Amino acid sequence: MQLPGSVGGADWQSGAFDPETDTLFVQSITAPFIADLNKGDPRATDLEYVPGLRRLGARTARPATVKAALRRITAINLNTGDTLWMTPNGDGPRNHPLLQGLNLPRSAIPAAPRHW
């Protein structure tokens, strides 16, 4: 696992500004990158190992072990630069069998929330 992911450590999603409170609301993502290697096929390559799936947010049998919320919204006071608050944007995998009994807080997954 690589963190920050292979696309860098920061990504501009979108934001909103409240001119009455001079507050900027910004969403951000911490997206781990799961990289794997496969044995090279000698009929196709002379490399001993070749890249595998190499997908951002690849699914594994184990939950990602990242402490902070993976997707969050932060409110910033533009007069002072202070962070007013930060909250997870969504709800991550708290019910995974390996996490039972930990009583974890909300921790959103890196994928964008889906609107059905």
Residue 30's CB: how many other CB atoms inside 10 A? 20
Class of residue 66 by CB neighbours under 10 A (exposed 0-12, middle 13-18, buried 19+) = middle
d(CA 81, CA 56): 31
The DSSP letter of residue 59 is -
Query: How far is the C-alpha of 63 from the C-alpha of 97, rounded, in Å?
Result: 9
CA distance 68 to 80: 24
pLDDT for the residue 76: 96
Provide the residue-wise pLDDT of the chain in tens; the chain has 116 residues: 677 666 555 556 678 999 999 999 988 877 667 777 889 999 999 999 998 876 554 455 555 556 555 678 899 999 999 999 998 877 666 677 777 787 777 665 555 544 43
- DSSP-assigned beta bridge partners for residue 38: 50
Other beta carbons less than 10 A from residue 108's beta carbon: 21
CB neighbour list of residue 31: distance below 8 Å, 6 or more residues apart? 4, 5, 7, 11, 56, 57, 70, 110
